[in-house]
Amino acid sequence: MVDDSILEIACFSTSAAIVAANSGADRVEFCTDYRAGGCSPHPDEVISVSNELTIPIVVMVRLRPGNFLYSRQEVEAMRNYISALNNSAIEGFVLGAITSDKTPDYDALAKFKDAAGNKELIFHRAFDSLKDSAGELKELHNAGISRILSSGGPGNASDHKETLQSIFNAAPKGLTIMPGGGIRPATIDELRPSIPAKEWHSSAITNNNHLPDRDLIRLMKNILHS
């Protein structure tokens, strides 16, 4: 039976997004600054890449590297960034905000949801910094989050198999959990027997190249759809 799993590729330039799409990616997470773990691209570049691709695009909303504890001014700047792209062809926004108590910043999320309108909100790996990530799943979903990117903890998803299992078990209906962090063909093979993921996230970057590896994308697609 053919698997309907989705492979999302994190892309850090327009050229990378085109490579990913042409290699079989199902969706692109568009951002900049690979070494920082992804930051927001310029809105003009978002519009440009959305004109190039026919597959869905989600955009990183992270205006600086570092932690996910944001000031009021930073939250307002993020809200404005979302508003600037609200009428674009992208599918959604990848973001995250937490408090000093390591709980989700629901006030910030409410502002982001209001600015995003009908577009998706995806909570990125700031989720793995929460003190009780599994315990926040229902409230995050109620706050408008439709998908969560998680490795289950620091580092790679393969290091946190049991935590990922508990997150999947606690997720309410309608909230997608997407493993990310070092996802490669071997990782998918290792996690699939115990992790019921239908969406997977990878940069597919090898040898410090900022372009995704075409063959790696194709191999992951073959594994997921076989």
pLDDT value, residue 2: 45
The helix/strand/coil state of 22 is helix
Q: What angle do CA 159, 217, 91 make, to 5 degrees?
A: 90
pLDDT at res. 3: 61
Domain spans of the chain, in order of start: 6-224
Q: Supply the pLDDT for residue 1.
A: 35
10-residue averages of pLDDT along the chain (226 residues)? 81 96 98 93 96 97 96 98 96 98 98 97 97 97 98 94 96 97 95 95 89 96 90
Superfamily of domain 6-224: Copper homeostasis (CutC) domain (3.20.20.380)
Confidence (pTM): 0.95
**Which H/E stretch holds residue 90?**
none
Residue with tokens 């590729």: 9
CB 140 within 8 Å of CB 176: no
Residue 85 C-beta-side C-alpha neighbours within 13 Å: 31
Ranges assigned E (strand) in the chain:
6-11, 27-30, 57-60, 92-95, 120-123, 145-150, 176-179, 199-202
List the Cα angle 84/6/184 in 5-degree steps. Answer: 105
